A and B are shown apart, each in its own frame.
Chain A
Amino acid sequence: MNRVFQWCVTVLIVVTTLSAIARANGNEGGVNVGDSAPVFSLMNVDGKKVALSDFSSAKGAIIVFTCNHCPYSVKYEDRIIALHQQFASQGYPVIAINPNDPVTVPEDAYDQMIVRAKEKKFPFPYLVDETQEIAKAYGAKRTPHVYVVANTKDGSKVAYIGSIDDNAADASAAESFFVSDAVTALLAGKLPTTPLTKAIGCTIKWKKK
């Protein structure tokens, strides 16, 4: 009897674990390429709200889920700034969003975002996703995680999901520039040839329930 009980407990634990793993893997509630971009209105580091709809007159936007503390995000900071400088004037500005739980990572708290935005002179909005609902709506898993959205007559559509390029450690050694290529294709009226890429990154720090 005791053995049976133990076995049941083990099975229960494993099933719970596996379903948690399955949830982590599935793009649960997340968007795919071609889907409508979830709308948002989030607090910027300047204390004002910024909404996706503020950019409806642009051609689209480069939405980057990123944060202060993650070494991968830090390595990409200058490249994210460069993307904004290259593409904002052509209608694709960067919108950075930090979804991390500041309880887990104090460096990612709102006041620290203000400090970082000033230090790096971010030329783009750096928004706090306090409830983490926007990251969930997009299906963002890691930082940095990029969503290029294009404004069409049917609204904002997701055109690219993934990484910025193929070399996080060394920008000068990168050979494929996924976001840049995707936006360049959209500007030419084409769909990105590589609409989805994977990359290593820091897991988004979800709030503990």
Chain B
Amino acid sequence: MILYSLLMLLGLSSAGVDEVNLAQLQSRIYRGADTTYVVNFWATWCRPCIEELPAFEALARKRSKEPVVVLLVSLDAPIDRETKVEPFIRKKGYDHCQVVILNEPKPHLWIDRVDQSWSGSIPATLFVKGQRRLFGEFQFNEELLDSTFTAFHKEEK
């Protein structure tokens, strides 16, 4: 039992962050029509991103029993994964979000593939459910994220 708790603790504190390319990211968020994906683009060096992340963790926590995935996509350099991204996530305890680091060079070639309207600034957030999507460069607080999510989540075609 003690061993089990210890393993759990170790497991929870590992904060493993997978490295994905854009194709892998897209296959992850466009595969399930029943799940609503909230994909937030952020980086440890981006202050407004850091400010809004607690709202995303709160959303993920509140919706943890529903088919909702909050995915935090770090745009930190892949070399900073172990030194910056993983320690940050561990310290903040964002246990309800999934976290990946995007390893995709040449932003001018892939920014448009996320959304044509994206200027490249972060924070930026993409909501996806089946074929429906909503993208915006916007800094959320908990209330605004909640209302935007609720409206997107409920809306029928």
Contacts and interface: CB of A to CB of B under 8 A. Distances in A.
Contact of B47 (A11, A13, A105, A166): A105
B144 A21 contact: no
A203 interface: yes
B11 interface: no
A200 B138 contact: no
A101 to B, nearest CB: 12
A17 B139 CA distance: 10
A198 B106 contact: no
Given A105-B47, A163-B107, A201 B120 contact: yes
B21 interface: no
Given A25-B117, A71-B45, A105-B47, A166 B111 contact: no
B121 A201 contact: yes
Contacts of B123: 203
A70 B120 CA distance: 14
B47 to A, nearest CB: 7
A21 B112 contact: no
A167 B106 contact: yes
A27 to B, nearest CB: 8
Contacts of B109: 166
Contacts of B117: 25
A167 B105 contact: yes
A141 B136 contact: no
B138 A20 contact: yes
Contacts of B121: 141-142, 200-204
B10 interface: no
Contacts of B48: 203, 205
Interface in A5-41: 10-11, 13-14, 17-18, 20-21, 24-25
B108 interface: yes
Nearest to A11: B151
B121 to A, nearest CB: 4
Contact of A21 (B45, B75, B108, B136): B136
Interface string B75-110: 101010000000000000000000000000111110
9 contacts: A13-B144, A14-B148, A17-B147, A17-B148, A21-B137, A166-B106, A198-B111, A202-B45, A202-B121
